[in-house]
Amino acid sequence: NAGVTQTPKFQVLKTGQSMTLQCAQDMNHEYMSWYRQDPGMGLRLIHYSVGAGITDQGEVPNGYNVSRSTTEDFPLRLLSAAPSQTSVYFCASMGGDNYEQYFGPGTRLTVT
């Protein structure tokens, strides 16, 4: 039981490049989400999903796309990277009786 996994752990992109951050969970949770964390701003919700085929925008969705074709996977796509997207990205899944939200280890992204 791996919990929530994220790849890659570190990434450097040039402005304008695109990439996909991968996230997978093996707990059969319906709810998954993507956050970015910047100094002094806490965790901000980018996109979230309440089940396969259902996604919605969070606080800061611009420049990011998501899809949820399976319960397990919830990839985050950066369409055209910008320096403002330099951040630490966390994927999370939530479920169980206590609605405990488990976080992946994070992806540290730098856009130059």
Partner 1 sequence: GQNIDQPTEMTATEGAIVQINCTYQTSGFNGLFWYQQHAGEAPTFLSYNVLDGLEEKGRFSSFLSRSKGYSYLLLKELQMKDSASYLCAVRDAGGYQKVTFGTGTKLQVIP
Nearest distance from C-beta of residue 94 to partner 1, angstroms: 7
- Told to check if 102 binds partner 1 by CB under 8 A, we report yes
- Told to check if 77 binds partner 1 by CB under 8 A, we report no
Q: Which residues contact 17 (CB under 8 A, 6 or more apart)?
A: 80, 81
Distance between CA atoms of residues 70 and 25, nearest Å: 10
Distance between CA atoms of residues 40 and 15, nearest Å: 24
Question: Quick one: 62 or 80, whose CB is closer to partner 1?
Answer: 62
Nearest distance from C-beta of residue 24 to partner 1, angstroms: 15
- Told to check if 19 binds partner 1 by CB under 8 A, we report no
Nearest distance from C-beta of residue 92 to partner 1, angstroms: 8
Which residue among 17, 27, 44, 82 contacts partner 1 (CB under 8 A)? 44
Q: What value does the CA radius of gyration of the chain take, rounded to a whole number of Å? A: 13
Distance between CA atoms of residues 95 and 32, nearest Å: 9
